Chain A
Amino acid sequence: DGGITQSPKYLFRKEGQNVTLSCEQNLNHDAMYWYRQDPGQGLRLIYYSQIVNDFQKGDIAEGYSVSREKKESFPLTVTSAQKNPTAFYLCASSNRQGYEQYFGPGTRLTVT
Chain B
Amino acid sequence: RKEVEQDPGPFNVPEGATVAFNCTYSNSASQSFFWYRQDCRKEPKLLMSVYSSGNEDGRFTAQLNRASQYISLLIRDSKLSDSATYLCVVNQAGTALIFGKGTTLSVSS
Q: Are B95 and A106 in contact (CB under 8 A)?
A: no
Q: Which A-chain residue is minimally distant from B93 (CB atoms)?
A: A98
Output the nearest chain B residue to A90 by Cβ-Cβ distance.
B43
Evaluate contact between B34 and A97: CB separation under 8 angstroms: no
For B66-109 the 0/1 string (1 means CB < 8 A from A) is 00000000000000000000010001111111011110000000
**Residues from chain A with Cβ under 8 Å of B92 in the complex:** 98
Cross-chain contact A42 with B49 (CB below 8 angstroms): no
CA distance A105 to B95 in the complex (A): 23
> A98 is contacted by which of B31, B41, B42, B46 (Cβ under 8 Å)?
B31
Main secondary structure of the interface of A (DSSP, over half): loop
CB of B45 within 8 A of chain A? yes
A105 and B42 form a contact (CB under 8 A): yes
Cα separation A100 to B46 with both chains bound (whole Å):
8
* A74 interface contact, C-beta 8 A: no
Across the interface, do B34 and A100 meet the contact criterion of CB distance under 8 Å?
yes
Which residues from A are CB-within-8-Å of B43? 90, 103-106
Q: Quick check: A98 and B95 within 8 Å, CB to CB?
A: yes
The residue of chain B having its C-beta at the shortest distance from the C-beta of A102 within the complex is B46
**Is there a chain A Cβ closer than 8 Å to B12's Cβ?**
no
Give the CA-CA distance A105 to B100 in the complex, in Å: 19
- Type the 1/0 row for B19-61, where 1 means its CB is closer than 8 Å to any CB of A: 0000000000001101000000111111001000000000000
Known contacts: A98-B94, A100-B34. The answer to whether A42 contacts B46 by CB under 8 A is no
Query: Are the C-beta atoms of B94 and A41 separated by less than 8 Å?
Result: no
Q: How far is the CA of A98 from the CA of B94 in the complex (A)?
A: 7
On A, residues with C-beta under 8 Å from B are 33, 35, 41-43, 45, 48, 58, 88, 90, 97-106
Which 5 A-B residue pairings sit nearest by Cβ, starting from the closest? A42-B101, A103-B43, A98-B91, A43-B99, A106-B43
